[in-house]
């Protein structure tokens, strides 16, 4: 693991996490041979060969997790209505830009953030807020809209799989109602093929108008052992391929690749400090250790962003 030691902590791990891949699981099985290179941004390494071999014999996926960046911006936008946040963690840390203190509030602190920033509205209002944010927000370091920070090799992989009859899903720890707003445009994945963490909702008729109202209560955490549970709940089938980039994906990969038949497990390793970020075992968010240790023994393909990808981001014409 390499750290960019000249950068403050939050640019190293929090934002590294923001740029992390979404976890994607893919089901389906139709296979065709292809003559043109369907994965031009991938180096001709073992990772690419494993993918092509898998698709030829019988996932995945691309994306990016900007859920946390959204939550941070929402805390700032809602702060005037919540004077108490100035002295209350995890809000205090967000308002003071103290990402180290935020990390110390742990998973519980992050959940509190998500609750405070994702609940209360109707689902339609929430979707509008997300759309507005996505259309204006920019990555603090890279200065580009988040919509341009998708991984080109993963977009190619999604297209390649769909062209071969696969049905592609996003399976993320991020909020499902957040991701559904952007997944179709960014990854070609429609709302009904997005699985994520959720708050409880209730149906309510307000002034004669029915609405789905978001409640400040966790319904489901789509992470770790929750990922196979979420896939089973939403899809009702076991995937034949899954890709992830952290130990939060371990159980999904384990479940996917333990079934009989040809299966593919893929872990994208963020080891490219030049073009993206480099982090793994010691990262506060998006930690990847067990996957690196056990993955190869289980036959999973470890994708090195540095060595396996020719390009990281799409070329955007302006």
Q: Which residues bind its own copies (CB under 8 A)?
A: 123, 176-177, 180, 191-192, 194, 198, 201-203, 205, 209-210, 212, 225-226, 228-229, 232-237, 251, 254-255, 258
- Of 13, 3, 9, 12, nearest in space to 285 by CA: 13
Q: Locate tokens 């075992």: which residue?
A: 281
Instruction: Report the residue number, 20 or 189, with the smaller CB distance to its own copies.
Output: 189
Least separation in angstroms between CB 232 and its own copies = 5
Distance CA 167, CA 159 (A): 10
Please list, in sequence order, all residues whose beta carbon lies within 8 angstroms of the beta carbon of residue 204, skipping any fewer than 6 positions away: 210, 211, 212, 213
Least distance CB 135 / its own copies (angstroms): 19
Radius of gyration of the chain (CA): 19
The owner of tokens 């549970």 is 229
Say if residue 90 is preceded by a cis peptide, omega within 30 of 0. Answer: yes
Q: How far is the CB of 124 from its own copies (least distance, A)?
A: 9
Q: Which is nearer to its own copies, 89 or 201 (CB)?
A: 201
The alpha carbon of 167 is separated from its chain's Cα centroid by a whole number of angstroms, namely 18
Enter the tokens of residue 238: 């076991």
Could you count the other beta carbons within 10 Å of the beta carbon of residue 198?
17
Residue 222 Cβ vs its own copies, minimum distance, rounded to whole Å? 12
**Cα 234 to Cα 125: distance, rounded to the nearest angstrom:** 24
What one-character DSSP code corresponds to residue 166? P
CB 229 within 8 A of CB 238: no
Where helices occur in 145-302 by DSSP H, the ranges are 152-163, 176-187, 226-234, 250-258, 290-294
Residue nearer to its own copies on the CB measure, 3 or 220: 220
Q: Closest separation between CB of residue 258 and its own copies, Å?
A: 5
When the beta carbons of 71 and 194 are compared against its own copies, the nearer one is 194
Distance of alpha carbon 282 from the chain centroid:
19
Provide the token pair at 255: 């479940």
In whole angstroms, the minimum distance from the beta carbon of 123 to its own copies comes to: 6
**Min separation Cβ 190 and its own copies, Å:** 8
Nearer to its own copies, 37 or 184 (CB): 184
DSSP 23: P
Cβ proximity to its own copies: between 194 and 278 the closer is 194
Q: How far is the CB of 180 from its own copies (least distance, A)?
A: 5
Q: What is the CB neighbour count within 10 angstroms for residue 317?
A: 4
153 or 228: whose CB is closer to its own copies? 228
Shortest gap between Cβ of 50 and its own copies (angstroms)?
A: 22
Q: Other C-beta atoms within 10 Å of 273: how many?
A: 18
Instruction: Identify which of residues 232 and 282 has a Cβ nearer to its own copies in the complex.
Output: 232
Which is nearer to its own copies, 188 or 314 (by Cβ)?
Answer: 188
């Amino acid at each position: 693991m390499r750290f960019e030691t000249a950068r403050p902590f939050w640019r190293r791990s929090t934002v590294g996490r923001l740029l992390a891949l979404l976890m994607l699981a893919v089901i389906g099985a139709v296979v065709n041979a292809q003559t043109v290179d369907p994965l031009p941004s991938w180096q001709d390494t073992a990772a690419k060969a494993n993918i092509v071999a898998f698709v030829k014999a019988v996932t995945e996926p691309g994306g990016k997790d900007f859920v946390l960046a959204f939550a941070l911006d929402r805390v700032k936008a809602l702060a005037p209505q919540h004077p108490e946040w100035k002295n209350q963690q995890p809000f205090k840390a967000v308002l003071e830009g103290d990402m180290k203190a935020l990390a110390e509030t742990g998973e519980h602190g992050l959940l509190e953030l998500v609750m405070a920033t994702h609940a209360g509205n109707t689902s339609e209002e929430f979707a509008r807020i997300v759309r507005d944010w996505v259309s204006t927000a920019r990555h603090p370091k890279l200065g580009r809209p988040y919509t341009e920070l998708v991984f080109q090799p993963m977009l190619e992989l999604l297209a390649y799989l769909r062209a071969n009859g696969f049905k592609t899903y996003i399976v993320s720890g991020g909020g499902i109602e957040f991701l559904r707003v952007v997944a179709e445009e960014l990854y070609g994945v429609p709302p009904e093929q997005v699985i994520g963490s959720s708050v409880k909702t209730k149906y309510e008729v307000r002034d004669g108008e029915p609405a789905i109202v978001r409640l400040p209560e966790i319904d489901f955490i789509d992470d770790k052992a929750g990922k196979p549970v979420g896939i089973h709940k939403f899809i009702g089938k076991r995937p034949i391929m899954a890709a992830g980039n952290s130990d939060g994906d371990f159980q999904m990969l384990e479940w996917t690749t333990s079934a009989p038949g040809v299966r593919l497990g893929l872990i994208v390793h963020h080891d490219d400090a030049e073009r993206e970020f480099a982090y793994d075992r010691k990262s506060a968010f998006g930690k990847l250790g067990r996957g690196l240790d056990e993955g190869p023994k289980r036959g999973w393909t470890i994708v090195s962003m540095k060595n396996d990808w020719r390009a990281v981001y799409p070329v955007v014409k302006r």
